[in-house]
């Protein structure tokens, strides 16, 4: 299957949805609260509405699942996964590390992905067998193979520790650099070799849709904390290939 048109389409969706979010960024807009107390803004809703309309126009019948408007078209082997703003808290606070995430899942496997960071104008895109591209150049994970030289990022160390209460000391003991350059931006850092590990204790499919193919094509890993690849495990771990065995061992038994 020729995935080039789908990658170009996903990249265009992410870019134009990102421009919608920039209309509201750093304007002082106030978020609403969802039932789970997560914040949501008019920027989230408008960006996702744009993506859905474009998918429906260009690929009628394809399924779509998004953070703000749920799922439509269940059962089609092609499913678009949309997070209009991954990092809404950052967005509301005026922090430029949020991203627009678009993925195409074909028969349950993510084959195409794009992640765009509008305030930074950084685009990360990949498709199976076509490489991972960062603003037009190849993206690769780092070859760092020692924790003492590694950077570990997450969105929130409190939630990380709540899931596994001694996880932070495990990394600290190995002298890793720990930072909260989180949400979508942390995964961009891993895919481009600027960090080695990204962790999140809770992820829905739209929070991580493009990462399996992005990390695979960049030479790394994305999946569950126990080493199972994919985007449907409710948690996220990305890392380079050199550290993967040690990271999984550390996650498993410390």
Under 8 Å between Cβ of 111 and 104: yes
pLDDT at 182: 84
pLDDT at 34: 87
Residues 6+ apart with CB under 8 A from 158: none
Under 8 Å between Cβ of 206 and 184: no
Under 8 Å between Cβ of 51 and 69: no
Nearest partner of 185 among 87, 88, 113, 111, judged by Cα: 87
pLDDT at 226: 95
Instruction: Give 10-residue mean pLDDT values along the chain (254 residues).
Output: 97 98 96 89 98 98 96 92 96 96 98 98 98 97 98 92 92 95 94 97 96 98 97 97 97 80
pLDDT at 254: 60
pLDDT at 5: 98
Residue 16 CB-half CA count within 13 A: 14
Our CA angle for 81, 129, 63, nearest 5°, is: 20
How far, in Å, CA of 49 to CA of 64, rounded?
11
pTM, entire model? 0.96
């Amino acid at each position: 299957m020729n995935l080039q048109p789908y990658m170009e389409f996903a990249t265009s969706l992410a870019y134009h949805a990102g421009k919608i979010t920039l209309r509201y960024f750093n304007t002082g807009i106030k978020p609403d609260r969802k039932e789970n107390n997560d914040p949501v803004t008019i920027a989230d809703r408008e960006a996702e509405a744009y993506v859905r309309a474009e998918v429906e126009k260009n690929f009628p019948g394809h399924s779509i699942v998004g953070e703000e408007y749920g799922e439509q078209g269940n059962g089609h082997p092609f499913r678009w996964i949309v997070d209009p703003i991954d990092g809404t808290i950052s967005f509301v606070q005026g922090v430029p590390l949020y991203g627009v995430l678009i993925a195409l899942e074909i028969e349950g496997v993510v084959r195409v992905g794009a992640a765009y960071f509008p305030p930074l104008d950084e685009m990360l895109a990949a498709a199976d067998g076509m490489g991972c591209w960062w603003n037009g150049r190849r993206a690769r994970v780092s070859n760092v193979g020692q924790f003492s030289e590694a950077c570990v990022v997450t969105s929130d160390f409190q939630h990380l520790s709540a899931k596994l209460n001694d996880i932070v000391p495990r990394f600290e003991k190995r002298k890793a650099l720990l930072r909260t350059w989180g949400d979508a931006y942390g995964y961009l850092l891993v895919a481009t070799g600027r960090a080695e590990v990204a962790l999140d204790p809770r992820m829905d499919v739209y929070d991580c849709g493009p990462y399996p193919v992005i990390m695979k094509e960049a030479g790394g890993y994305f999946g569950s904390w126990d080493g199972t690849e994919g985007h449907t495990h409710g948690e996220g771990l990305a890392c380079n290939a050199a550290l993967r065995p040690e990271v999984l061992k550390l996650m498993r038994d410390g």
